[in-house]
Amino acid sequence: MIEIIKLRHSVRCFTDKPLESETVRLLQQEIKKCNKESGLHIQLITNEPEAFQAEKPSYGQFKGCRNYLIIIGTKGKDTEAGYYGERIVLKAQELGINSCWVALTYKKNKAKGIIDPGEKLYLVIALGYGKTNGSAHKSKSITDVSDYKTDDPDWYKSGIEAALLAPTAVNQQKFRFERNGEKVRLRITGIGFYTKIDLGIVKYHFEIGSRKDGSVWY
């Protein structure tokens, strides 16, 4: 899983190749598990070009995106949306599918998916076979985002390293880890865009990197 984390970068240009049926089946399986655990209503939309049809060149322009995850759920589930969305992103990466989290640069009114009463659309995640695999983002250092000291346990260091590879909105990395024995606190620092979603994504990465489960948090 750590290798998968290292391979994942945001990809915004996709080839015409449709998702293979076995890939779709495995993604649907993961989505079902995530929805069951979280109560979210994440859906996979395939062969639908309208949500990402380009009009004019701008930041975050997408090319050839016809598949996406639509992250839907009741209010107040931002952190779960990040956590479970990233779980599906990494499953997709494992299956050779590139991705990009997208909160702003898509056509919200064209996006398909069922929003039940009491639910809202959080954001979408573009999916497909990328023209490239993207590239590593500029990153803060371990000490920028944590209280890490050189004699701290290895699991803490590897958790933060995995967290620094996580996608965050505009690559803001506005989070901080603090350790108290076997327990870790993760919080948002300052004001930013979609920081609660980022928090969930970063949590998932930390759990993988540190090989800990949800009981690590306090």
Ligand X SMILES: Cc1cc2nc3c(=O)[nH]c(=O)nc-3n(C[C@H](O)[C@H](O)[C@H](O)COP(=O)(O)O)c2cc1C
Among 170, 188, 196, 211, binds ligand X (CB under 6 A): 170
- Residue 92 lies near ligand X (rule: CB under 6 A): no
Q: Which residues of 117-141 are buried (b: 16+ CB within 10 A; e: fewer)?
A: eebeebbbbbbbbbeeebeeeeeee
Which residues make Cβ contacts (< 8 Å) with residue 136, sequence separation at least 6? 9, 165
Are 11 and 100 contacting, i.e. CB atoms less than 8 angstroms apart?
yes
Which residues make Cβ contacts (< 8 Å) with residue 59, sequence separation at least 6? 105
The DSSP element (H or E) to which 32 belongs, if any, is helix 21-38
Min dist CB 47 to ligand X, Å, is: 21
**Closer by beta carbon to ligand X, 160 or else 169:** 169
Alpha-carbon distance 205 to 200, whole Å?
A: 9
- Residue 192 lies near ligand X (rule: CB under 6 A): no
**Closer by beta carbon to ligand X, 52 or else 177:** 52
Among 128, 130, 159, 167, binds ligand X (CB under 6 A): 167
Among 101, 129, 156, 177, binds ligand X (CB under 6 A): 101
Min dist CB 89 to ligand X, Å, is: 9
Binding site residues, ligand X, CB under 6 A: 9-10, 12, 60, 100-105, 134, 137, 167-171, 194, 197-198, 201
